Amino acid sequence: MLLKPVRWKTFPRDFLRIQIGFLLFGTAIALMIRGNIGTSAWAVLEVALANLLHITPGTMTVIMGFIVLSGALLMRERMGWGTLANILSIGPWEDFMLARVPSVTDNLPLQIGMLLLAILLMGIASAIYIGVDAGAGPRDSMMLAIKRTTGMSLRVARGIIEVTVVTVGWLLSGPVGIGTLIYALLVGPSVQWGFKLFKVQPHGPEAEIPQAPED
């Protein structure tokens, strides 16, 4: 069975909590995009493709989520209701916040501040999302599937995938910058801080994932 069981008794509360997490994910992505000094690896590719296809970044995030999840399901990786909620919710929240966060250029202190706030929000959002224990996001589901089928570690799988993703995004004129490197270095510690702040104990193989589930 590829679908994890749903805990119906706590579902309304879990759904509200997870949507708060997704709002924070969407806000973080919007801050990185509007900061104009580089985004996370997946956002680099999604923004590049969105520009090429003349659609919103949030719409591309949804499309990419379904594409990646399809690959994970073909590799027999299990998903939860949170996996689908991740795909269907973060993109719309991202577009919602992009319409409200102004683009900033030629103000490096403010741009760095926006990036650091985004990384902080990623840590909080990750703790909320993983704390609900409703299934890994599509990108992490793919990494878990690759680990299970190839035997490589999650760190190696993540590294290979994200280097590939950011390279393709860069070749397609995606927003690669110093912020991309800063994000890669700091998001892991931010997520660990979020776990401690909310006293979250990751469940199952997702506990091995050191980065933000959205990314």
Q: Quick check: is 215 in a domain? A: no
Domains contained in the chain, number: 1
Name which residue leads in pLDDT, 153 or 101. 101
pLDDT exceeds 70 at position 202: no
Burial 16-52, CB ≥16 within 10 A → b, else e: ebbeebbbbbbbbbbbbbbbbbbbbbbbbbbbbbbee
Task: State the Cα–Cα distance between residues 102 and 121, nearest whole angstrom.
Answer: 18
**CA distance linking residue 72 with residue 53, whole number of Å:** 24
In a domain, 185, yes or no: yes
Task: Give pLDDT, residue 147.
Answer: 84
Least confident stretch, 56-60, 109-113, 128-132:
128-132
- DSSP structure class, residue 6: P
In-domain check, residue 126: yes
Q: In this structure, is residue 6 part of a structural domain?
A: no
Residue 69 within any structural domain of the chain: yes
**Parent domain of 148:** 12-208
| Span of 14-18, 92-96, 104-108, 188-192 with lowest mean pLDDT | 188-192
- Over residues 129-157, mean pLDDT: 88
In a domain, 213, yes or no: no
| End-to-end Cα separation, the chain, in angstroms | 26
Q: What is the pLDDT of residues 144-171, one digit of tens each?
A: 888 889 988 878 888 898 999 999 999 9
Q: CA-to-CA distance for 204 and 60, rounded, in angstroms?
A: 29
23 domain residue, yes or no: yes
Alpha-helix residue ranges (DSSP H) falling in 57-205: 57-74, 81-98, 108-132, 138-150, 154-171, 178-197
pLDDT (0 to 100) of residue 1: 47
pLDDT digits (tens, 9 = 90+) for 45-92: 999 999 999 999 999 999 999 999 999 999 988 889 999 999 999 999
Q: Is the pLDDT of residue 141 over 80?
A: yes
Spatial distance between the Cα atoms of 64 and 179, rounded to a whole number of angstroms:
22
Nearest to 25 by CA among 93, 71, 73, 127: 93
Report the alpha-carbon distance of residue 135 to residue 106 in Å, rounded. Answer: 40
pLDDT of residue 157: 85
DSSP state for residue 106 in the 8-state scheme? S
pLDDT tens-digit series, residues 3-50: 778 899 999 999 999 999 999 999 999 999 999 999 999 999 999 999
